[in-house]
Structure 1
Amino acid sequence: MFLFRFIANALAPLTLLAAALAWWHPPLFLIFKPAFIWLFAATMFAVGMTLNRQELIATLKQPLQIAQGVMTQYLLMPLLAFGVVTLADLPPALALGFIIVGCAPGAMASNVMVYLAGGTVALSIAMTTVSTLLSPLLTPTLVEWLGGQFIPVPFAAMMRTIVITVVVPVGLGLWLQPYLGRHLATAREVAPGIAAIAIIIICAYAMANAVNHNALAMQDYGLSVSGLVVLLNAMGYAGGWLLARLYGFDRRRRLTLAIEIGMQNAGLGVVLALAHFADQPQTALPGALFAVWCIVTAAGATAWFRRRAVRLACETPA
């Protein structure tokens, strides 16, 4: 159990280390090519296993906040991504890669980061659940609408991939909970670690694949793509926080929405790019870089918020 907790808590440095190894020697992680889609499905199964039904039901009784959060996920980041690639004048494949990242909200990693940062976990999980259920329809629709002008988008095939790798595993995890009995607590303790392992491998494989197939793109556009990843991530955090203030959210919910918007489900973006645009491997490069960077920034912000909470608690008179 300690090993799984350690891996979940050390997600950011381990992801960064694995990405560096993949950059240095891509064959270390290219061996995961046959399994990368199923690794992502494993993270979604872990989401289903960790969902607390009672907490979820209580949160669903505040549908306005959930609706505002999910609406922001599916509007803000897609439009920000479209604006970034339009102003940057990127090649079509790289532009589409950013669009895919912007249109893939919700991830288990964001739920973990919200918990560690002291946000509202129930709202985070509810948003992840609703956005996950909507993703088979909305993500391909938005990618086709915003990205179709760059490269033709296979709507039906993309929708099928999301159902298989997202909706089915989450539903299976929820369905299995009552049958585990006293073992459910153990499964929930192990699930974040398993999801973290899968996320680390997915990010590293995406980086290895990007380096292996995009040597020229990395040479010509590596710095600009990295800069745009940093910019998009920062705008997502800032936009989520500001809109949450506009919605009248309290501080914990503002923090939750900022993390949910800024992180995105870049792992899903990488899966979609590699599964449906294999002849355009550059489409996976923005997702690979975003997946690593958003975990690093979220982990750093989380550590700052935790230290701040401890300092404020110490300064508050008894």
Structure 2
Amino acid sequence: MLPVDEIRLNFNPASLLALNAVLGFLMFGIALDTRIGDFRRVARMPWAMSVGVAAQFIVLPAVTFVLTLLLNVGPSIALGMILVACCPPGNVSNILTHRAKGNVALSVSMTAISNALSIVIMPLNFAFWGSLQPKAAPLLRTIALDPLEMVGHIVVIIGIPFVLGMLVNHLFPTFTQRVKKPVGALSFLALIGFIVGAVAGNWRYFLDYVGLVLLAVALHDALAFGTGYLCARLTGLQDYDRRAVSIEVGIRNAGLGLVLIFSFFGGLGGMAVVAGVWGFWDIIAGLTLASWWGRRPAQRAEQARGTWA
């Protein structure tokens, strides 16, 4: 069995083009559920929003970097973990926040802001932490990643569909109300289908190497949810907000990670296996956490005034 850093998973150009289209459609669906008011709402809860964004773009990548050192994982696995940590959340986080009886308005606003910021921050974040990882840095140099080229790619598959979706929402609100739920559900199912297809098309590799990454992915995912919750708790956010921040930080868009892995890294083994396993594990873990929280009423501002609890 070849080392995981030496294998390349197969994903033909036509399938990759289709995956890019599906991801763009997913972002369009997220934007259909995003209003200008979601950005204005940030002004009414600047502290909670700042905590959530900092937890996603600063704390989680740093925690992930430390985890790759502690687990002593291989170079491509380390890069996969860092890339997933740098990805923005998807709209499934809004659904899970609602199920968890958390602050859905905060969740929706964080998803919108995070996806907008990730267009620039994500590739720079990945390049920064990847270059610091002692095992992964030499591999990253051989790939000769150009962060600006990745920015351009992300603009096409995230930025443009996101702007178009918001424009449709603003100009045709009645039409948007009718189609946003079907579009969101269809795009999410299509993305899951492509993740399943990527795994199925490389099933032998996943069977051979899943044991190498499963523990790392499980720990990483638990730390992502825990990072969001701890950041929210330490900064004094109420339980209602903590649930939203925890889920927003814990849910990462592994589909975007797979697109970038096949587009820029040639389907590099450890990276692709990490993103593929994360795509399933993350939803299962998020649904479990949201269901557990959903059975416990969240403490709101009027209940928690003057306390941290």
Q: How many residues align?
A: 280
Q: CA deviation at 1:193?
A: 0.9
CA contact (8 A) 2:28 2:165 kept: yes
Using a 3 Å threshold, how does the CA distance of structure 1 residues 130 and 241 change in structure 2: closer, same or farther? same
Question: Partner residue of 1:271?
Answer: 259
TM-score (norm 1): 0.81
Question: Partner residue of 1:74?
Answer: 57
Q: Deviations over 1:97-153 (max 9, x none)?
A: 111001113211112211222111121122112221111221111111111314233
* Secondary structure of the corresponding residue to residue 296 of structure 2: helix
* CA distance, structure 1, for counterparts of residue 78 and residue 127 of structure 2: 13
CA contact (8 A) 1:32 1:205 kept: no
* Equivalent residue in structure 2 for 1:307, among 295, 298, 305: 295
Question: Partner residue of 2:169?
Answer: 177
Greater shift, 279-288 or 73-82, is seen at 279-288
Greater shift, 79-88 or 238-247, is seen at 79-88
TM-score (norm 2): 0.83
What amino acid maps onto 2:250 in structure 1? G
* CA distance, structure 2, for counterparts of residue 58 and residue 192 of structure 1: 22
Using a 3 Å threshold, how does the CA distance of structure 1 residues 210 and 101 change in structure 2: closer, same or farther? farther
Greater shift, 298-307 or 117-126, is seen at 298-307
Using a 3 Å threshold, how does the CA distance of structure 1 residues 208 and 76 change in structure 2: closer, same or farther? farther
Which sections of structure 2, spanning at least 5 residues, go unmatched? 1-8, 132-136, 299-309
* Secondary structure of the corresponding residue to residue 186 of structure 2: helix
* Equivalent residue in structure 2 for 1:190, among 179, 182, 198: 182
Q: CA deviation at 1:196?
A: 2.0
Question: Partner residue of 1:287?
Answer: 275
* Equivalent residue in structure 2 for 1:151, among 140, 151, 167: 140
CA contact (8 A) 1:106 1:264 kept: yes
* Alignment partner of 1:135 is 2:123: no
**The structure with more helix, counted as a fraction of residues:** 1
Using a 3 Å threshold, how does the CA distance of structure 1 residues 282 and 275 change in structure 2: closer, same or farther? same
* CA distance, structure 2, for counterparts of residue 299 and residue 261 of structure 1: 14
What amino acid maps onto 2:203 in structure 1? V
Greater shift, 146-155 or 107-116, is seen at 146-155
* CA distance, structure 1, for counterparts of residue 41 and residue 89 of structure 2: 20
Q: CA deviation at 1:223?
A: 1.5
What amino acid maps onto 2:73 in structure 1? L
* CA distance, structure 1, for counterparts of residue 44 and residue 191 of structure 2: 31
* CA distance, structure 2, for counterparts of residue 294 and residue 51 of structure 1: 23
* Structure 1 residues 1-318: aligned runs within 5 Å: 32-148=15-131, 149=137, 150-152=139-141, 153-211=145-203, 214=205, 218-219=207-208, 221-278=209-266, 280-309=268-297
* Secondary structure of the corresponding residue to residue 172 of structure 2: helix
Using a 3 Å threshold, how does the CA distance of structure 1 residues 202 and 63 change in structure 2: closer, same or farther? farther
Using a 3 Å threshold, how does the CA distance of structure 1 residues 209 and 80 change in structure 2: closer, same or farther? farther
What amino acid maps onto 1:164 in structure 2? V
CA contact (8 A) 2:35 2:169 kept: no
* CA distance, structure 1, for counterparts of residue 274 and residue 288 of structure 2: 21
Q: Percent of aligned positions with the same letter in both sequences?
A: 26
Q: CA deviation at 1:284?
A: 1.4
What amino acid maps onto 1:139 in structure 2? M
Question: Partner residue of 1:12?
Answer: none
* Secondary structure of the corresponding residue to residue 151 of structure 1: helix
* CA distance, structure 1, for counterparts of residue 194 and residue 95 of structure 2: 17
Q: CA deviation at 1:172?
A: 0.5
